[in-house]
Amino acid sequence: MLKRTTWVILALMVLLTYGGASAQTRGDHVDLLVFEGPITPVFERYVEHGILTAEHDGAEAMILEMDTPGGSVDITHEVVQKILNSSVPVVVYVAPSGAHAASAGTFVTLAAHVAAMAPGTTIGAASPISNEGKDLEKTLKKKVTNVLAKDIRNLAERRGKKAADWAEKAVTEAQAATAKEALEMGVIDFVAEDVTDLMSKMDGMKVTVRGKEMVLHTKGLPIRRIPMSPLDSFLNAITSPAIAVILLTLGINGLIFELASPGAYLPGIIGAICLLLSFYALGALNANYTGLLFIALAFLLFIVDIKAPTHGVLTAGGIASFIFGSMVLFSTPYTTVPWATIVGLALATGAFFLFAIAAAVRTYRKRPVTGSEGLVGMVGEAKGELDPEGMVLVHGELWEATAEDPPVAKGEKVVVTEVQGLKIRVRKAEGRKG
């Protein structure tokens, strides 16, 4: 009995100790996530990890500093659900200056318990497009637009009618707003210069989390940054339009080089890896298939110009096709390939293939120096009299030869004029030596 009582007392002490420690640490900091890029599975995992961390480490709130051109509707729906079901207040802060919460990013911002933007940022333009980056078919677009308009209105209604009306138009009419305009309409709660300014401004704000009203106490709290995992950081880094096109170009070039020079292996392996990574990035960025077809056409023209040289005409067409394909590869103003990248890759790839074309032309025009055809023009020595037939030593080999201008004396120099199977035709080499 005494032993059991002792165990109960120890258990209570442990509970009191850790329970008291937990109560003391709750609300003593704010967790911060920083994300730049499209809304992909990487973004979903990062937000989920951030919410779980904030719920378990006693954060007063979780701030998501975000700059996104948008992304998958399905993934956005999952992220919105995670934010709405969080037991810790979630703050979405569109920053830094120049950042966007475009398309699906608008939904994420409106789902937050607190929404804020930095000066010089924009939000909106949430009209749906297909997974290929194109406009949807008319009937389908109408259905999807109506559903998304209702969804975003539901998220914005708690911010007032003006905010809800604008949010609906962001889907139906692709409307966008600056930070100042969004604040005036009630779409966001604050315009803040930085995270510290945001924490000061939202201090004392009442928010409703899972139906329970809470008052935020964030002013002066330390900030704990929650980083992405190394793998997710890498995957997010390659979902950049410029990097996606670079990977695509390197991938195709590597495979072409491997096919042209079988056995090298390394170019083929690197090319295959780059190509697969580019497919991931292009899929995450909703690449336009038309742009991909133009890029594929460019490489086809490059290859044909090597096989059937046209003095660079097809290569010039390939460069133009590559540039146009890169321009239309992405359909939103927030996901574009920089001009410097487009032109640089096009010229570098064109130069590579022009070099290959020049090498092919030189090889085609060059007289063979090996095999039977390589004997034509070589000087040999008659090992016996040719009248008109006999044996000739050419390039260290004995050949049965027929003289075109017999007789040819033994030891006289001759020049090979033709190879006929295992026989050669020769003529006298006036004054020439072997």
Residue with tokens 């034509």: 376
DSSP state of 39: B
Query: Quick one: residue 273, left, alpha or beta (phi over 0 = left, psi -120 to 50 = alpha)?
Result: alpha
CB 11, CB 3: distance < 8 Å: no
Concerning whether 103 is annotated as a catalytic residue, the answer is: yes
Concerning whether 143 is annotated as a catalytic residue, the answer is: yes
Q: Among the options 86, 103, 278, 331, which is catalytic?
A: 103
For the record, the structure tokens of 29 come out as 């900091």
Nearest-10 crossing angle of helices 241-260, 339-365 = 10
- The Cα–Cα gap between 259 and 269 comes to 12
- The Cα–Cα gap between 141 and 428 comes to 84
CB 228, CB 50: distance < 8 Å: no
What is the DSSP pairing of strand 30-36 with strand 223-225?
A: parallel
Q: Among the options 22, 97, 142, 143, which is catalytic?
A: 143
3-state secondary structure of 178: strand
Q: Burial level of 55, CB count in 10 A (0-12/13-18/19+)? A: middle
- The Cα–Cα gap between 385 and 120 comes to 96
* Nearest CA-CA partner of 105 in 133, 83, 86, 120: 83
Residues with a known catalytic role: 103, 143
